[in-house]
Amino acid sequence: MIFDPICAVATPRGFSALAVIRCSGMNVLERVMPFLKLNKNKIEPWRLYLTEFTVGDELIDELTVVFYKAPRSYTGEDMVEFISHGSPMVLKLIIETLFKAGFREAMPGEFTKRAVMNGKMDLLKAESIEVLINAKTRKAHEAASFIYQGKLGHSIEAIRQLLIKAMAEVEVELNYPGEVEASTEAVYSLLMEVKRLLEELVAHGENGIALTEGIRTVIAGRPNVGKSTLLNALLRKDRAIVTDIPGTTRDTIEEALSIDGTYFRIIDTAGIRKSDNPIEKLGINRSKQEIEQADLVIFMVDLTDPEQDLKLFESIKPRLKRYVLLGNKLDLAKCHEAVELCISANSGESLRDLEKKMLEKTADLSNPYEGELFITERQKALSNRALDYLNETLEALAGGVTMDIISSLLHQTIKILDELTGKHLQEDLLDTIFKNFCVGK
């Protein structure tokens, strides 16, 4: 696969001791040689050379250079990497010179995109690289590393091979009608094993999303129960405006928080009550949506007037996945027997007990090795789609439909798995995935 030459600074912008400039594509070595005081014929791949980067008689920098010969490179193409001084002016002059030599600036994630397209890695591993770079906790790093090592890819490939085996049974009958009859029992048995594996994957896989994107934790309740005060207390900073006026929070406020290595996304919501204010009503509707999507809801009860809060909680309780029923304002009133835990968000009393309770309630999400893992919503959605098609195939098989329909359904299931790993590549899909990568990666 032939690509035009690209280059980019692969290290963060700003002043630093060292910086890396990465180049990849056709004839990269030939394009950079005019600026290096090296003999091209004596350059060996994968060796580090100290040289000078010059333009005419002007010295730009003394740097080191490595040539990676295809296919033994990150992208699978010929690559050159410079390690220069980290001066923004040095980098600017080198990049401008490379542009004049026929390079263009790489798009975000384009080096990794080329690696996928050249078969150097699957799409799952490529996605894990971005998560590794942006991991905010040790557990998020472990989840991304789990996929980077290929463990999810191996599991998907094992499932795919079982589907191909079932497909072979079906295709024999289609290719030799009247001579060979596929064993429905054998096909059904294979597909039931695939169903077991996919269901296990879907059941435990989203743990990785919680670890890498954060456990979605919503602080909910009526106005003035102390939701914004609790957010500020958990963050140890004044993030939300706190007043005695009901309905101050009109929209959601989201912040990241690490508790003992577990990553939480804390979302403060508008107080739930009846309101004629159209703006506040929008905020309340958004609060209800957040509550239903949350991994964990901290529902706050005002200990000075608990009955209305408890009544509201009972009305939303059936829609909650996990929750902490939290009494607040312990500095003003006694704890109520109906709540799980009482604190004072204002003074910070028993705040550590709440953090421990949050960890306890989400323990099932915070273990990176509970089955295989997803680290993106794309991976989760495609695995669910594959399971849906598989269930449809099993129903069709049990209903006695013709093998050509079974074949079509199996083809579609395999196609979805190939889209998951990147065997079935779509240019627009790759553009969407890699647009959030940093330039140079």
| CATH number of the domain where residue 398 is located | 1.20.120.430
- Looking at this protein, which amino acid is placed at residue 65? V
Assess whether pLDDT exceeds 60 at residue 79.
yes
Q: What is the pLDDT of residue 63?
A: 96
Query: pLDDT tens digit string along 33-63?
Result: 999 999 888 899 999 999 999 999 999 999 9
Assess whether pLDDT exceeds 70 at residue 201.
yes
Please report whether residue 197 resides in a domain.
yes
What element of type H or E holds 144? Answer: helix 138-148
Q: What is the pLDDT of residue 137?
A: 75
Cut 0.85: pTM above it: no
Assess whether pLDDT exceeds 60 at residue 302.
yes
As a whole-number percent, the residues of the chain with pLDDT over 90 amount to 41
Query: pLDDT tens digit string along 304-328?
Result: 989 998 998 898 899 898 999 999 9
Please report whether residue 158 resides in a domain.
yes
**Same domain assignment for residues 235 and 116:** no
**Same domain assignment for residues 241 and 330:** yes
**Same domain assignment for residues 238 and 317:** yes
Per-chain mean pLDDT for the chain: 84
* Cβ–Cβ < 8 Å for 265, 215: yes
**Same domain assignment for residues 113 and 12:** yes
Please report whether residue 230 resides in a domain.
yes
| CATH number of the domain where residue 230 is located | 3.40.50.300
Classify strands 104-105 and 79-86 as parallel, antiparallel or unpaired: unpaired
**Same domain assignment for residues 327 and 392:** no
Query: pLDDT tens digit string along 352-362?
Result: 999 999 999 98
Q: What is the pLDDT of residue 193?
A: 93
Q: What is the pLDDT of residue 244?
A: 47
- Looking at this protein, which amino acid is placed at residue 133? I
Burial per residue of 202-226, b for 16 or more beta-carbon CB atoms within 10 angstroms, e otherwise: bebbbbbbbbbbbbbbbbbbbbbbb
Assess whether pLDDT exceeds 80 at residue 428.
no
- What is the pLDDT confidence band of residue 247, given thresholds at 50, 70 and 90? very low
Q: How far apart (Å, rounded) are the C-alpha atoms in residues 23 and 78?
A: 8
